[in-house]
Amino acid sequence: MLLNEFSKEEVWKAIINLGKEKAPDLDGFNIAFFQHCWGTIRGEVMGLFSEFHSKGVFEKSLNATFISLIPKVAGTDDIHKFRPISLVGSVYKILTKVLTSRLRVVDKVVSPNQHAFVHG
């Protein structure tokens, strides 16, 4: 299962399980966009997953992250009164969710005395 190509169902399940109402990410799209437009953009997204599966790498820009400081109090100029957030692209979040789902089977393929830090 870990080595299989990514299926449309697997990617769609990851998209559905991500919070859709969060603010737009670095790429300007929130997950609600991917859910609403899946029929139109499915081919492009699956192309990315297919390329990732065959090459084992993705474009560096896909993992670009910006850190932004959000003031906790209006009008503050003290750095301690800001909260940092990171803006990561939605496609990267989807890819991460799919890979995380696949890794949940590790405890079924690795013996209990051969692994550490596996859930449960």
What does the pLDDT look like over 49-93, one tens digit per residue? 999 999 988 887 777 777 778 888 888 888 888 888 766 678 888
- DSSP for 30-97, please give it: -HHHHHHTHHHHHHHHHHHHHHHHHHS---GGGG-EEEEEEESSTT---GGGEEEEEEE-HHHHHHHH
Going from N- to C-terminal start, the domains of the chain cover 8-58+89-114
For the stretch 28-39, pLDDT in tens is 577 888 898 899
